[in-house]
Chains A and B, each alone.
Chain A
Amino acid sequence: MNAKRVDKIATGVLYAIAALVVIILVALLGYILVQGVPEISWHFLTSPALSFEAGGGIGIQLFNSFYLLFLALLISLPISLGAGIYLNEYAGQNTITGLIRTTIEILSSLPSVVVGLFGYLFFVVQFKLGFSILSGAFALTVFNLPILTRSIEEALANISDDQREAGYALGLSRWETVTKIVVPAALPSIITGVVLSAGRIFGEAAALIYTAGQSAPALNFSDWNPFNISSPLSPLRPAETLAVHIWKINSEGIMPDAKAVSAGASAVLIIAVLLFNFLARWLGKRLYKHLTAE
């Protein structure tokens, strides 16, 4: 067989494989959206869930998901940024940093249910935080830290050393060079990494079942004092998220419209995750443009 023919066959096979992947993905997304989108309404998105009757919504779960996401990022972003800067800009290549990198890699492949059980034992039981937003946010931090650290480290590593040398040659210190030149130049990819990890957090269920809990007590949306237990901002209240809600309805839901609620909630979840992905791309591109040509 000649090279040209082999190339043609290889191209064909690769196209077929790519097409298969796309078809599976589109079919999956399409199925969820077709099943779920008709269930979505303003009422569905804003009203609380009902356990025994039809017509319940996902309002509280949706709010919980966003609040947990916000808290988890609030905790994990500064830590990941610091760790990423340390690993890429300050730490040399030696045994200890090698060990740190390996650990981060192992942590990032930890099954999220293990993270959840660890969070249960550590935050819920040991630190007596109970099933709460805070326990959930910490568990999500554990879940998110390794991946976010990696992506920030990579974003920084992609900035050419020429940029650092340019800073040093102007008499800037390493700290000034890192914070004022390297991090800003890496910002588009850092933001992309953050938003993508936000999508992962948003859809996470296993890490939250035993930490943020599986109940969504009624919230008083006119009370924004975080110290009141019925306030949406209260960090010590249990908070079932959208993903956990979907899991729960499907395993033990007894409301008559369980199927419909589950389909609607799944569609909302998928749409949110898709939005995060598009947002990541759009923000990354926009920031890059802003930096390279105003």
Chain B
Amino acid sequence: MADNNTMTTDQRNIMTFDPQAHEIALSTEDLHVFYGNSEAISEGDLQFERYKITALIGPSGSGKSTYLRSLNRMNDRIATVKGKIMYRGLDINSNDIDVYEMRRHIGMVFQRPNPFAKSIYENIAFALRQRGMNKKADLDEIVERSLRQAAMWDQVKDDLNKSALALSGGQQQRLCIARAIAIKPDILLLDEPASALDPVSTSQIEDTLLELKQNYTIIIVTHNMQQASRISDYTAFFNLGKALEYAETGDIFTNPKVDLTNDYISGNFG
């Protein structure tokens, strides 16, 4: 566990990091998200430490997914996002950011597995080729490495030309993870990646994420509190569009400061 002295918690129960001791991969400042006129996120400023897993938990409609999807601007066409999203000293929520380039640094995996209607190999190689990588040897190498990192190489190495749609749900989701990490993002956003999967696939995905933590900053939205406590280093609790508490995962689950957090993790609502 990290040294507590380098983290401070303000009166709102939101933890901030001492930039000297922690490398911050991503943070939001004064972020507000609107769907039409209704405000979906009114208070949710968090800092995310590099090479850690941060879990966003909260009941349905709490805004945790909206918050996550705002981080790589997947909400651009659906919602109005105001405020700053700081990545490497750059406000990526500003208009002059090349959104497509930014998303190659901040990748995303969705709730429902969404492989392309292409072969397993093409699912991974496709986006690389679109960016001018055409050498077969390079592509082969990245495809293999990504599938290994997603812990599915051994299962599919002989079927790379088979359609990705023929895979099981759990395998499809791991393929989506492999596809996301193939373009070597810095940060991986996951929106309830295991909620549509069976327990075995879920635990495989969790193992994969713990492996990936060495090289990626991971932010994961989850409904599953056991999952949050099993894999995350930090946890933020969202309710009604606000981040009510943000702390080390151990603290959140054993010693929550906010009553609502306590209620939620004890299963009293949500």
Contact A169 B163 (CB under 8 A): no
Q: Which residues of B contact A172 (CB under 8 A)?
A: 100, 127, 130
A-B contact count (CB 8 A): 71
CA distance A185 to B119 in the complex (A): 12
Q: Known: A165-B74, A180-B126, A291-B118. Is A171-B163 also a contact (CB below 8 A)?
A: no
Query: Chain A interface: which of B40-48, B102-110, B147-155?
Result: B102-110
Within 8 Å of chain B (Cβ to Cβ): is A168? yes
Q: Known: A165-B74, A169-B74. Is A185-B101 also a contact (CB below 8 A)?
A: no
Within 8 Å of chain B (Cβ to Cβ): is A95? no
CA distance A170 to B102 in the complex (A): 10
Q: Known: A168-B74, A180-B126. Is A293-B165 also a contact (CB below 8 A)?
A: yes
Contact B114 A180 (CB under 8 A): no
Within 8 Å of chain A (Cβ to Cβ): is B72? yes
Taking the closest CB of chain B, its distance from the CB of A160, in whole angstroms, is: 7
CA distance A255 to B28 in the complex (A): 85
Q: Give the residue of B108, B131, B165 whose beta carbon is less than 8 angstroms from that of A169.
A: B108
Query: Chain A interface: which of B134-142, B176-184, B201-209, B212-220?
Result: B176-184
Within 8 Å of chain A (Cβ to Cβ): is B21? no
**Nearest neighbor of A188 in chain B, beta-carbon distance:** B117
Within 8 Å of chain B (Cβ to Cβ): is A53? no
Q: Which residues of A contact B108 (CB under 8 A)?
A: 165, 169
Taking the closest CB of chain A, its distance from the CB of B124, in whole angstroms, is: 10
Contact B114 A171 (CB under 8 A): no
Contact B118 A171 (CB under 8 A): no
CA distance A181 to B166 in the complex (A): 17
Within 8 Å of chain B (Cβ to Cβ): is A74? no
**Nearest neighbor of B164 in chain A, beta-carbon distance:** A292
Within 8 Å of chain B (Cβ to Cβ): is A121? no
Main secondary structure of the interface of A (DSSP, over half): helix
Contact B119 A169 (CB under 8 A): no
* Binary per-residue interface labels of chain A (122-144) against chain B in the complex, 1 for a CB within 8 Å, 0 otherwise: 00000000000000000000000
Within 8 A of B (CB), among A246-294: 291-294
CA distance A173 to B103 in the complex (A): 10
Q: Known: A162-B110, A170-B183. Is A180-B130 also a contact (CB below 8 A)?
A: yes
CA distance A294 to B74 in the complex (A): 32
Within 8 Å of chain A (Cβ to Cβ): is B161? yes
Within 8 Å of chain A (Cβ to Cβ): is B145? no
Q: Which residues of A contact B163 (CB under 8 A)?
A: 291-294
Within 8 Å of chain A (Cβ to Cβ): is B112? yes
Within 8 Å of chain B (Cβ to Cβ): is A111? no
Contact A185 B117 (CB under 8 A): yes
CA distance A250 to B139 in the complex (A): 65
Taking the closest CB of chain B, its distance from the CB of A107, in whole angstroms, is: 29
Within 8 Å of chain A (Cβ to Cβ): is B264? no
CA distance A246 to B162 in the complex (A): 49
* Binary per-residue interface labels of chain B (91-123) against chain A in the complex, 1 for a CB within 8 Å, 0 otherwise: 000000000111110011110101111110000
CA distance A185 to B117 in the complex (A): 6
| Residue among B100, B107, B165, B179 facing the most chain A CB atoms (10 A cut-off) | B100
Contact A163 B114 (CB under 8 A): yes
Contact A170 B114 (CB under 8 A): no
CA distance A184 to B126 in the complex (A): 13
Q: Which residues of A contact B117 (CB under 8 A)?
A: 163, 184-185, 291-292
CA distance A162 to B196 in the complex (A): 14
Within 8 Å of chain B (Cβ to Cβ): is A105? no
Contact A166 B114 (CB under 8 A): yes
**Nearest neighbor of A291 in chain B, beta-carbon distance:** B117
Taking the closest CB of chain B, its distance from the CB of A158, in whole angstroms, is: 12
Q: Which residues of B contact A165 (CB under 8 A)?
A: 74, 108, 110, 114
Q: Known: A162-B112, A162-B114, A166-B114. Is A173-B100 also a contact (CB below 8 A)?
A: yes
Taking the closest CB of chain B, its distance from the CB of A88, in whole angstroms, is: 14
Within 8 A of A (CB), among B39-73: 72
Contact B100 A294 (CB under 8 A): no
Within 8 Å of chain B (Cβ to Cβ): is A223? no
Q: Which residues of A contact B116 (CB under 8 A)?
A: 163, 166, 181, 185
Q: Known: A291-B117, A292-B166, A294-B163. Is A171-B127 also a contact (CB below 8 A)?
A: yes
CA distance A160 to B107 in the complex (A): 20
Q: Which residues of B contact A291 (CB under 8 A)?
A: 117-118, 163, 165
**Nearest neighbor of B185 in chain A, beta-carbon distance:** A171
Q: Known: A162-B110, A162-B114. Is A171-B166 also a contact (CB below 8 A)?
A: no
CA distance A181 to B116 in the complex (A): 7
A165-B108, A171-B102 given. 15 additional CB < 8 A pairs? Answer: A165-B110, A166-B116, A168-B100, A168-B103, A169-B110, A171-B101, A171-B103, A171-B104, A171-B131, A172-B130, A184-B117, A291-B117, A291-B118, A292-B117, A294-B163
4 closest A-B pairs (Cβ-Cβ)? A162-B114, A171-B104, A169-B108, A170-B127
Q: Which residues of B contact A (CB under 8 A)?
A: 72, 74, 100-104, 107-110, 112, 114-119, 126-127, 130-131, 161-163, 165-166, 176, 179-180, 183
- List 5 A–B pairs whose Cβ atoms lie within 8 Å, in order of A's numbering: A165-B114, A166-B115, A169-B72, A176-B130, A292-B163
